[in-house]
């Protein structure tokens, strides 16, 4: 239990904010604060037990995890900050607050935390954490400004994948301006703080990936913007990051960029994204033919390096060169064989190779070959074992060369020798990183999944010239990914962190947290809490399911029914948002509308998201009619309060496209376990997405409006009724009589 003084501090901070902003206390907000504080209490006991233990790493219990679904209007940001920050400071821990979207991250760092600091009476510091790629590398800037043609040719030849600026533009004036602003202390190398937009073509040459960074051995280390920013994180109480950066840090072992997980209480806002992002971070992919070409590039680079008279430990470099020549030659032979095997498997599409994905409602990728249950055929798996060993040798050799170059950077007998090593280092650092990535892919293809756990998905995808489906296939891409994040999050996060808070407006599905628990591998001691929104759903909004006399599976009839019903349901005086599961259906509905309605539509395909929302606001402000047509990305994170959205229309129950190789493999595994994938996975996921979609309507307590779902399965299918019952308690209008309703 926490001391009464800590509880009093939290209560007083809450009262101060309410008084300063003339707010009323919210039951749900107070409940959320109390639940988080109660759930985090075991951290003190765990720390005490660890301090008494002689073998702390073997005896420390995993930290507490609390999941809070806080309905829209709860005020969850204030709740989790007021609950977690005083607790963390009392325990000597850091708080890492991670969001899934840039919009929420900016809201937290620029609005929420300053507001809490100003009005709560609490004293705390905070900072925004960014990845290395958001900061300029001074060494790369120096190189770019040298204008050394031979050096640029070396970089272009050996491992840099930077595309030349469009039109061959000279970037020297831009880089000189960067250096000038840095010299005058007007810019701290943060891409986001630069005046104007920096394209990838402009930015990539002057930033560095982790493998290309020499760290303390770099001559610019003491002035490095990334390391200066990272050092600042040690001094603050709250670090605002995103899910991706947290996962990158965890993949590096934890504590590489952010504080050590054992000393950190994590807050994951928009936590429903966490399992998917975790799978992405622990996935691997490689292209076969381009890998052969890359290995040739590595060979040429090694030969050039071995012949460089500017290297001081030339003998050691030559030894590594000879060893790598053998490993690369062997790997090229094995990779050529694997390419032929993969091409044969893809062409045959036999049962041994898996089943070709069928196009989904949104077109999908009909060309992927997903191996059933992730099981790779024996001959390709044997090739993968050899390739994993080959890439391990290449990766190890390239890292050894990087070590030699670091050594020269540190103790070179001349400035020229140091500079020469600094020029070579990012080239071979990038090569080592790519070799590691290929090694991970082949290890994944060589592995056989444990029979008692979910498998990894493994699949092949053709690569077309120019990225166009109508062009010839030029390569094959092999990919692997966990189907559940349970194992990776358990190993890297749940068993290591001091504590974690997961929250979002929507985390449960069909009234429980089973899907989230399965996908994220939440520990058995996780505390779950659902806090209802304070909104008066019954009085503020209605949900209508119109009679269409067709099943959404009959796309042509369903589209025709929507087209016929829309003019009857849309009010020109209302701002509306219509959400589709299929791009094709969205386009078909738009093209079939009468011109007077089509002119009122702002379609996602025709504008950038920010531009579309701006145009929508302008139309409504000018008293014009506006209807947004959008896909899944408009079902979340789109805030259209008040007059900007009075009517949300949803084309159908948002079932996931059935051809994703990860979801296909997971469904196959669930079926093998004797579980129904449709009811275990598809229906809860669809219910979750529908709750999110309907959540676009009421954004504050004064909002009113209506929701229309063009899917009779909500009423006439057993699973539809369970989905319908999982929605907020809107007033229901099932099959109302409409003028000119289609027969």
178 and 253 fall within a common domain: no
Residue 213: Cβ-neighbour burial (10 angstroms; 0-12, 13-18, 19+): buried
Same domain, yes or no: 291 and 369 = yes
Per residue in 516-560, pLDDT (tens digit) is: 999 999 999 999 999 999 999 999 999 999 999 999 999 999 999
Question: Is 228 domain-assigned?
Answer: no
Residues 319 and 426 in one domain: yes
Residue 490 and residue 14: Cα distance in Å, rounded? 34
Residue 739 lies in a domain: no
Q: Are residues 653 and 696 in the same domain?
A: yes
H/E stretch holding 541: strand 541-545
The CATH number of the domain holding residue 582 is 3.40.50.300
Write down the H helix ranges in 576-704: 583-592, 595-598, 609-621, 661-672, 677, 683-694
Residues forming beta bridges with residue 98, ordered by sequence position: 241, 268
Q: How many domains does the chain have?
A: 4
Would you say residue 5 has pLDDT above 60? Answer: yes
Give pLDDT tens digits for 494-505. Answer: 999 999 999 999
**Judgement on whether residues 161 and 290 belong to the same structural domain of the protein:** no
Query: 655-693 pLDDT, tens per residue?
Result: 988 788 999 999 999 999 999 999 999 999 999 999 999
* Residue 505 domain boundaries: 4-125+236-279+488-531
Among 531, 564, 595, where does a domain finish?
531
Q: What is the mean pLDDT of residues 640-666?
A: 94
Are 86 and 208 in the same domain? Answer: no
Q: Which residues contact 536 (CB under 8 A, 6 or more apart)?
A: 701
Same domain, 188 and 289: no
pLDDT tens column, 256-307: 899 999 999 999 999 999 999 999 999 999 999 999 999 999 999 999 999 9
pLDDT at 441: 98
Considering the domain architecture, whether residues 145 and 80 belong to the same structural domain is answered as: no
Is the same domain home to 609 and 644? yes
- Residue 510, domain member (yes or no): yes
Q: Is the pLDDT of residue 48 over 90?
A: no
Final residue of a structural domain among 172, 198, 221: 221
Alpha-carbon span 236 to 595, nearest angstrom: 57
**pLDDT exceeds cutoff 50 at 401:** yes
Read off the tokens for 204: 């990539």
Closest Cα partner for 658 from 618, 619, 685?
A: 685
* 3-state SS record for 566-599: HHHHCCCCCCEEEECCCHHHHHHHHHHCCHHHHC
If you write DSSP's letter for every residue of 413-447 in order, what string do you get? SSHHHHHHHHHHHHHHHHHHHHHHHHHHHHHHHH-
Instruction: Please check whether residues 324 and 466 belong to one and the same domain.
Output: yes
């Amino acid at each position: 239990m926490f001391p009464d003084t800590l509880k009093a501090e939290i209560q007083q901070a809450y009262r101060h904010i309410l008084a300063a902003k003339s707010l009323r206390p919210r039951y749900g907000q107070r409940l959320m604060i109390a639940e988080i504080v109660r759930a985090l209490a075991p951290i003190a006991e765990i720390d005490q037990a660890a301090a008494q233990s002689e073998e702390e790493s073997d005896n420390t219990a995993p930290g507490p995890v609390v999941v809070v679904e806080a309905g829209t209007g709860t005020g969850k940001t204030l709740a989790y900050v007021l609950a977690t920050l005083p607790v963390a400071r009392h325990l000597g821990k850091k708080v890492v607050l991670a969001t899934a979207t840039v919009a929420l991250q900016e809201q937290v760092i620029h609005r929420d935390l300053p507001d809490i600091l100003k009005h709560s009476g609490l004293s705390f510091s905070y900072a925004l954490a960014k990845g290395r790629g958001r900061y300029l590398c001074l060494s790369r800037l120096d190189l770019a400004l040298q204008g050394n043609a031979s050096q640029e040719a070396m970089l272009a030849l050996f491992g840099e994948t930077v595309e030349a600026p469009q039109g061959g533009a000279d970037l020297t004036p831009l880089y000189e301006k960067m250096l000038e602003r840095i010299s005058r202390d007007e810019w701290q190398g943060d891409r986001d703080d630069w005046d104007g937009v920096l394209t990838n073509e402009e930015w990539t040459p002057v930033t560095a990936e982790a493998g290309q960074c020499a760290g303390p051995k770099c001559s610019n280390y003491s002035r490095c913007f990334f390391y200066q920013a990272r050092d600042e994180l040690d001094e603050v109480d709250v670090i605002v990051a995103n899910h991706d950066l947290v996962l990158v840090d965890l993949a590096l072992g934890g504590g590489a960029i952010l504080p050590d997980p054992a000393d950190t209480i994590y807050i994951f806002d928009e936590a429903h994204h966490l399992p998917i992002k975790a799978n992405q971070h622990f996935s691997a992919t490689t292209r076969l033919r381009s890998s052969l070409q890359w290995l040739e590039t590595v060979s040429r680079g090694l030969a050039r390096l071995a012949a460089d008279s500017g290297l001081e430990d030339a003998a050691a470099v030559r030894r590594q060169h000879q060893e790598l020549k053998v490993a690369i030659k062997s790997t090229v032979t094995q990779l050529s064989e694997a390419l032929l095997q993969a091409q044969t498997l893809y062409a045959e599409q036999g049962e041994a190779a898996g089943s070709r994905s069928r196009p989904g409602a949104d077109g999908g990728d009909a060309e992927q070959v997903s191996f059933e249950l992730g099981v790779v055929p024996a001959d390709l798996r044997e090739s993968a074992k050899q390739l994993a060993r080959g890439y391990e040798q290449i990766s190890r050799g390239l890292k050894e060369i990087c070590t030699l170059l670091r050594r020269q950077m540190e103790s070179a007998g001349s400035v020229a020798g140091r500079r020469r090593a600094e020029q070579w280092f990012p080239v071979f650092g990038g090569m080592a990183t790519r070799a590691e990535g290929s090694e991970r892919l082949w290890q994944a293809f060589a592995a056989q999944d444990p029979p008692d756990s979910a498998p990894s998905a493994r699949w092949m995808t053709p690569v077309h010239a120019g990225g166009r489906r109508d062009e010839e296939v030029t390569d094959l891409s092999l990919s692997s990914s966990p189907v559940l994040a349970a194992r990776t999050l358990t190993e890297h996060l749940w068993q290591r962190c001091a504590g974690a808070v997961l929250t979002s407006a929507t985390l449960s599905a069909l009234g429980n947290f089973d899907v989230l628990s399965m996908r994220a591998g939440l520990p058995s001691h996780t505390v779950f809490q659902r806090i209802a929104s304070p909104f008066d759903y019954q009085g503020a909004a209605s949900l209508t399911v119109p009679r269409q006399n067709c099943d959404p599976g009959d796309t042509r009839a369903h589209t025709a029914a929507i087209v016929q019903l829309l003019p009857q349901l849309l009010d020109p005086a209302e701002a509306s948002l219509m959400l589709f599961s299929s791009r094709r259906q969205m386009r078909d509905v738009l093209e079939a509308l009468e011109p007077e309605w089509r002119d009122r539509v702002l379609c996602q395909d025709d504008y950038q998201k920010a531009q579309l929302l701006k145009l929508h606001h302008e139309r409504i402000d000018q008293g014009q009619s506006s209807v947004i047509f959008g896909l899944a990305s408009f079902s979340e994170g789109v805030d259209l309060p008040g007059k900007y959205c009075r009517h949300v229309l949803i084309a159908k129950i948002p079932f996931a496209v059935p051809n994703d190789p990860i979801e296909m493999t997971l469904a196959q595994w669930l079926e093998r376990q004797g579980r129904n994938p449709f009811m275990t996975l598809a229906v809860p996921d669809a219910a979750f997405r529908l709750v999110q979609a309907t959540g676009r309507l009421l954004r504050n307590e004064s909002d009113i409006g209506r929701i229309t779902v063009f899917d009779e399965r909500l009423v006439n299918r057993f699973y539809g009724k369970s989905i319908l019952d999982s929605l907020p308690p809107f007033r229901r209008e099932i099959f109302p009589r409409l003028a000119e309703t289609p027969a």
